[in-house]
A and B are shown apart, each in its own frame.
Chain A
Amino acid sequence: MTSLTLKRVRLDWSGIAFAVILTLVIIGPLVVVATWAFTEVWRYPNIIPQKFGFRFWGQTLGRPDVWNALMLSLKLSTVVTLLSALICLPAAYAFARMKFPGRDILFFSFLAGHAFPKFGLLVAIAAIFLQLNLIGTFWGVVLIQLVGTLMFMIWIPVAAFQAVDRRMEEAARDVGASPLRVFWSITLPQAGPTIFAAVLLSFVGTFYETEGAWLIGAPGIRTMPVLMISYINNQMVIQYGAVLSVLLWVPSFIALMFARRVIGGGAFARGFGG
């Protein structure tokens, strides 16, 4: 018993050390960015800004390139997510419920993208798009981002469909419900929340996707992250980048809240091979 209490005290110390260091290293930089977003004047070497205010919010949001990029990003994410749901959810249902030749090997084929270093693969795809004149086009970026969502949008819904209680479906069939009715009233309500989380994650993931958009989309397609790259590279007013960062954080927060259910229980890490 005494050794147990001793262990507790010692572990708490290491816990406090981890908590303090991680707070400084993980939260610290984000706080600095957030502070810059609400700063009007902050000259070196003052520790806190001389003047806080919202002046740069008006200026940033008044820029047409910001609005164009935001609208384009939302449009891209919506199109990619809808297309992905349209082609992946029926496929996920088939993988979970139907038997067909080559089912296992086709299921694991979605892992192929993870066997390559990602940007190398993007360059190889871009070389093909170059011949197809898809470089710098909206649909070129849609295709490359669509591929990025495939594994998420198939593997998570497959697990969701498999978790649905088959006996309830069979019971409903026994009392005369049509297959469609069973799917709508029994299967979907049970699998729905997880599928919704997958759809949301793929929307947010697409919204932040930078490398494909930059490699395939430039110069015609400027999404929010791509715009942010040029703001950082061209050393524009610091607050523009800070305001954009805070704005870009909003979808992340939503994802963070919804992802808790997907990440819970270590299932997520196992999905990554842990």
Chain B
Amino acid sequence: MSEFVERAVSVSTETAAGRRSIGLLLVAIPVFLVIWLVIWPAINAISRTIWRTDADGSSSFDLSSYAFFFSDRYSLDNLAVTLWTTLVCAVLLLVICLPIALYLRFSHGRLPAYVQALAILPMFVPSIILAFACIRVLGPNGMVDILLNAVGLPKIRTPYLTPWGPVIGLVWDNIPLTVLILLSGLGSVANQSIEAARDVGANTIRVFWHIILPRISNSILVALSFSVLGIFSSFTLPYLLGPASPEMLGPFMQRTLRDVQDPIGAMTQAVVAFGFCILFGLFYVRSVARNRGK
């Protein structure tokens, strides 16, 4: 053993080729895992859903599972509710997080530190606890109902088990990273440029529109891509907070695979999800790689 190590060390110090192969050897297992469990499943899902094997063993080009998905009323309803949820969440996240990020960027002191701590806190709340908390607060006879009743107001129409349930949970869950990404983008807006604009008489809205927005548009796209990728195929929150029908693609895929035991159907749904997210995914990966390469 020691002889082997000695030899390996001497080889690695003597020849560059040896050092190269040791480097490759050290990264081999994680890279193999990525190829086997990320890239191969994606290729496998696409190829097995378009190149189907018949009962007699011959395989041929066959898009029938996609034809079924896009003609089946139930599948289309699920797709529609998924798109609706993703869109509403993305808009809400932007409307909520942009003001928070702007406030945090342009103020200092203990109050902004407290606001930032609160905005990041959901990152450390597992979604399963979040789901439970949502039910206890917004569910039937939850805390909101209790408080409304105490001041003599009628109960709310609970969002629990409606499409709004997952929206509330998913927005809550995605606030921290959206704020952090936007804040990081706002870091590139120089104070001088804002002061210069102010000096020539620009008001707050014009400063935001002409100075700040163009500089953070890329960060906004990154934040949106990240949340869209997460929300589009989210599972836990829609499964626990959303309606049983129509359901979002996450629970739908899970049920198709495990309860209906139809792997081809589930893979078709997964590939449809890939298709809807591909642009966001590529954009997101490109931004991260570019940042990292700097």
Contacts and interface: CB of A to CB of B under 8 A. Distances in A.
B181 A274 contact: yes
A252 interface: yes
B20 A99 contact: yes
**Chain B binding surface, main DSSP class:** helix
Interface string B264-283: 00110111011001100110
Contacts of A99: 19-20, 23
Contacts of B205: none
A117 B114 CA distance: 32
A137 interface: no
B240 A118 contact: no
Given A32-B133, A33-B133, A90-B26, A270 B229 contact: no
Contacts of A125: 37, 41
Interface residues of B, number: 108
Interface in B101-146: 103, 106-107, 111-112, 114-115, 118-122, 124-137, 141-143, 145-146
Contacts of A28: 137, 143
Given A26-B121, A124-B41, A266 B136 contact: no
Interface stretch (A10-18, A64-72, A183-191): A10-18
A36 to B, nearest CB: 6
Interface string A34-50: 00100000001111000
Interface residues of A, number: 96
B288 to A, nearest CB: 4
15 contacts: A22-B118, A94-B26, A100-B27, A112-B38, A113-B38, A119-B253, A123-B254, A130-B263, A210-B128, A211-B236, A214-B236, A214-B254, A269-B180, A273-B226, A274-B222
10 smallest A-B Cβ distances: which pairs? A274-B184, A117-B233, A274-B181, A100-B23, A98-B23, A115-B281, A29-B133, A124-B41, A94-B26, A119-B233
